[in-house]
Amino acid sequence: QEWIDHKLSWNPEEYGGITAIRVPSESLWLPDIVLFENADGRFEGSLMTKVIVKYNGVVTWTPPASYKSSCTMDVTFFPFDRQNCSMKFGSWTYDGSMVDLILVDENVDRKDFFDNGEWEILNAKGMKGNRKDGLYSYPFITYSFVLRRLPLFYTLFLIIPCLGLSFLTVLVFYLPSDEGEKLSLSTSVLVSLTVFLLVIEEIIPSSSKVIPLIGEYLLFIMIFVTLSIIVTVFVINVHHRSSATYHPMAPWVKRLFLQKLPQLLCMKGHVDRYSFSDTEEKETTLKSKLLGKQKYKQAKDGEKIVIAFLEKAADSIRYISRHVKKEHFIRQVVQDWKFVAQVLDRIFLWLFLVVSVTGSVLIFTPALRMWLNSTL
């Protein structure tokens, strides 16, 4: 700060050529210039240094001071956000007729600024203004700073792990349906996302006006993982279905999941295992019985005994054959339901992959575009 006090001027020739002196600041009048948007309640400088007084009455006072200013944060595009913060300085008690403020240069000198690992100053300018209050005018100077967050740290330790967790959710549908680790993997991903959400809550300022970009993405992935758990439970249920659990396969399910969808998904075709006809078996059994009765009437007594024994053996063989075919039928029904579960896994694998990639691109594209525009 620099001002002119004519009462403090003198002729250097009368005082041995002295052109400037340094006196304690407590012994002189000082302007009460304060930061209006302070955040810690401290309006004045912390150290009362000496004042330089020149022979022409120019008084220079440059006390070191550390200010904490409040700034309204817009965290919509966090961590690719830009912030516009301002610091407004002015006299606390004097109006413009007593103390006037003069802005020497509107561009802020940044040669003494230190680099910050999180923020980069894109623009810093000063502007003079006047606040009217009735007949009085109160001048003030506002320094505006355009800050851009450096996103490398948050990209490496927040965004990339979240993307990895998102694609881990897709891999749930690549695991075999009979593996219990499918649900374990989905639950572990959901817990990890919850931890990330708690970490982000501590990093960014609390605000109910906007939802941060990374928060939107985490909520998207959490809904994504929750749906994957629901779908996984359904697929495992389909995998363990069979005729013994009273889940017969409808004809449209056979046509859709055993014939049409495997071709569209580039999966091996499923063989139709239901070619056995019960009618043919009944007709064959009936013909054999009729022929056996005819031969039985024409045969002699000794031959009748042999024929009766062979008929019993044939009945036993037919019983065993029917039992084996029934077991084979049940086994094939189980295999068909397992194949349906594989088809569902393949469908949801591609569906969730497309949704994950599309959602990630749509969420991060506006923020990346804004950040690149501010870089160029």
User: What domains can you pick out in the chain, each with its CATH number?
Assistant: 1-69 (no CATH), 71-150 (2.70.170.10), 158-268+334-375 (no CATH)
pLDDT given for residue 43 in this prediction: 59
- The mean-pLDDT minimum among 147-151, 235-239, 242-246 falls in 242-246
The count of C-alpha atoms lying within 13 angstroms of the C-alpha of 371, restricted to the half-sphere facing its C-beta, is 17
Neighbours of 159 (CB within 10 A): 18
pLDDT given for residue 53 in this prediction: 92
Phi/psi zone of residue 134: left (φ > 0), alpha (ψ -120 to 50 degrees), beta?
A: left
CA-based nearest residue to 230, from 222, 218, 240, 220: 222
Distance CA 133, CA 313 (A): 117
CB 336 within 8 A of CB 258: yes
What is the amino acid identity at position 101?
A: L
Q: What does DSSP assign to residue 112?
A: T
Q: Is the peptide bond before 24 cis (omega within 30 degrees of 0)?
A: no
What is the amino acid identity at position 344?
A: L
CA-based nearest residue to 204, from 151, 161, 145: 151
* Residue 74 reports pLDDT greater than 50: yes
What torsion, rounded to 10 degrees, do the Cα atoms 197, 200, 204, 205 define? 40
* Residue 294 reports pLDDT greater than 60: no
CB 190 within 8 A of CB 225: yes
* Residue 116 reports pLDDT greater than 70: yes
Distance CA 333, CA 327 (A): 10
User: Using CA of residue 341, residue 339, residue 336, residue 275, what is the dihedral sign?
Assistant: positive
Neighbours of 180 (CB within 10 A): 9
User: What does the pLDDT average to over 11-24?
Assistant: 89
Q: What does DSSP assign to residue 175?
A: S
User: What does the pLDDT average to over 127-154?
Assistant: 88
Residues 6+ positions from 110 with CB-CB distance below 8 Å: 121, 124
pTM of the model: 0.65
Distance CA 117, CA 65 (A): 22
Residue 130 φ then ψ, to 5°: -135, 135
Quick one: pLDDT band at residue 304, thresholds 50, 70, 90?
low
Could you tell me the CA-to-CA distances from 47 to 50, 165, 193 in Å, in that order? 10, 52, 48
- C-alpha triplet 38, 41, 47: angle, nearest 5°: 90
Reduced to 3 states (helix: H, G, I; strand: E, B; else coil), residue 344 is helix
CB 232 within 8 A of CB 189: no
The more confidently predicted of residues 285 and 250 is 250
Strand order across the 2-4 sheet: 2-4, 58-60, 51-54, 20-23
Residues 6+ positions from 196 with CB-CB distance below 8 Å: 158, 161, 162, 165, 218
pLDDT given for residue 278 in this prediction: 46
* Residue 185 reports pLDDT greater than 70: yes
